[in-house]
Amino acid sequence: MAILSVDNLSIGYQTKKGMLKAVNDISFSIEQGRSLGFVGESGCGKTTIGMTLMGLLPDNASILSGNINFMEKDLCDFSEDQWRNIRGKDVAMIFQAAMNALNPVFRVGEQIAEAIVTHNPAFSKNEVNDRLKKLYNMVEIPEHRISDFPHEYSGGMKQRAIIAMALACSPKLIIADEPTTALDVIVQDQILKEIKKIQQALNMSLIFISHDIAVVAEVCEDICVMYAGQIIEKGSKREVFTSPKHPYTKTLLSSYLSLDSDENILIPDMMETPDLIDANPGCQFSCNCNCRSTECSKNAPGWIDISKTHKAFCCEQGLSRTNNG
Ligand SMILES: Nc1ncnc2c1ncn2[C@@H]1O[C@H](COP(=O)(O)OP(=O)(O)OP(=O)(O)O)[C@@H](O)[C@H]1O
Ligand SMILES: [Mg+2]
């Protein structure tokens, strides 16, 4: 059974120019112990989804429609008190660029201990210290570094400490938003392996957000590809990563893989950014799609089932023109 199930969710930001639809009618679910990746270009709505699941949307944002069911509770109706009860405890987030958020004047261990105490106020000092040591072992930072200040940590260690902080209360669901983007590839790879190992060992559900499809494929079992606030392809890692169907997914992947259907997937020199305030009624990717027909900017696409688990939000023509590999 799904621990989280999101149905037809739309989220908007009120801006001076009007309502910006950052997330547009998305549906997905995740089961206990599974990992789901969200991938897509900058501004496609990935962080907005994470912030919504943490109850941390800014004041100018609102849920326009849809349902979010987490552990059999409807999060759309939650009061701030209810959010405080589950945030950090049942659902935790590793925030984008979080490693710069460690407070420079406090020791790293103290900052993680504070997260432990917040959700376990009855813990004795010894229990907090034991938990702290366990967390340091889990993220593979030597225990003797507990009392160091943030400036004494490398970037990779800071990121591990942030992961430890998110794990402080063994959440059921963890949302990792670009957790390794600022790191060099070797440290990135170590931390991705770490996240995967911990997620499996603790049987947590993981939502992993990145603009890099190869990174998402390394960590996640299932993948949702996003474009302009919409999910445009979803399926298992194998289906989406090795057998992509949507022209945008193919464009994303073409920098990593040599595809058989290359002749149809020319990456445009300049990608146009779709307008999220005054969206066209048709396919949001149509302005950049080399497989488009004249109908694509007029008629919204529909979901096409490729397998029981693999779906693409496209038109038959778009799929068949990219499907000759
Ligand atoms: N507070 C805000 N007010 C108005 N618009 C916002 C606000 N926050 C985000 N947006 C807009 O919502 C859209 C989605 O933003 P979001 O941060 O979710 O994207 P993202 O996929 O996480 O991008 P990135 O990969 O750059 O982190 C963007 O068009 C962004 O400009
Ligand atoms: Mg983001």
Domains and CATH numbers, the chain: 2-225 (3.40.50.300), 243-321 (no CATH)
The closest residue, in CA terms, to atom 2 on ligand 1 is 13
- Give the tens place of pLDDT for each residue, 245-279: 999 999 898 866 555 555 445 556 667 888 899 98
> Residue type for 160, please?
R
| Residue 92 Cβ < 6 Å to ligand 1 | no
Q: What are the two backbone dihedrals, phi and then psi, of residue 205, each rounded to the nearest 5 degrees?
A: -90, 140
Q: How many helices (H) and strands (E) does the chain have?
A: 10, 12
Q: How many CB atoms lie within 10 A of CB 295?
A: 13
- Give the tens place of pLDDT for each residue, 149-188: 999 999 999 999 999 999 998 899 999 999 988 788 888 8
- Give the tens place of pLDDT for each residue, 53-108: 999 999 999 999 999 999 999 999 899 999 999 998 999 999 988 878 899 999 99
Q: What are the two backbone dihedrals, phi and then psi, of residue 179, each rounded to the nearest 5 degrees?
A: -70, -15
pLDDT for the residue 320: 73
The closest residue, in CA terms, to atom 7 on ligand 1 is 13
Q: Does residue 323 carry a pLDDT above 90?
A: no
| Residue 45 Cβ < 6 Å to ligand 1 | yes
CA of 44, nearest ligand number: 1
pLDDT for the residue 236: 98
pLDDT for the residue 318: 74
Half-sphere exposure of 271 (CA within 13 A, CB side): 15
Ligand 1: centre distance to CA 13 (Å)? 9
Q: How far apart are CA 47 and CA 135, in angstroms?
A: 26
The closest residue, in CA terms, to atom 3 on ligand 1 is 13
pLDDT for the residue 142: 96
Handedness of CA 262, 264, 270, 275 (dihedral sign): negative
Q: Which of 14, 17, 41, 48 to mutate to test the pocket of ligand 1 (most atoms within 8 A of CB)?
A: 48
CA of 40, nearest ligand number: 1
Q: Do residues 42 and 209 make contact, with C-beta atoms less than 8 angstroms apart?
A: no
Query: What percent of the chain stands above pLDDT 70?
Result: 94
Q: Do residues 209 and 47 make contact, with C-beta atoms less than 8 angstroms apart?
A: yes
Task: Find how far residue 74's CA is from the centre of its chain.
Answer: 20
Which secondary-structure segment (H or E) carries 168? none
Q: How far apart are CA 109 and CA 153, in angstroms?
A: 12
> Residue type for 99, please?
M
Mean pLDDT score, 300-324: 84
Q: Residue 241, class by beta-carbon neighbours within 10 Å (0-12 exposed, 13-18 middle, 19+ buried)?
A: buried
- Give the tens place of pLDDT for each residue, 3-32: 999 999 999 999 999 999 999 999 999 999
Handedness of CA 277, 303, 236, 11 (dihedral sign): positive
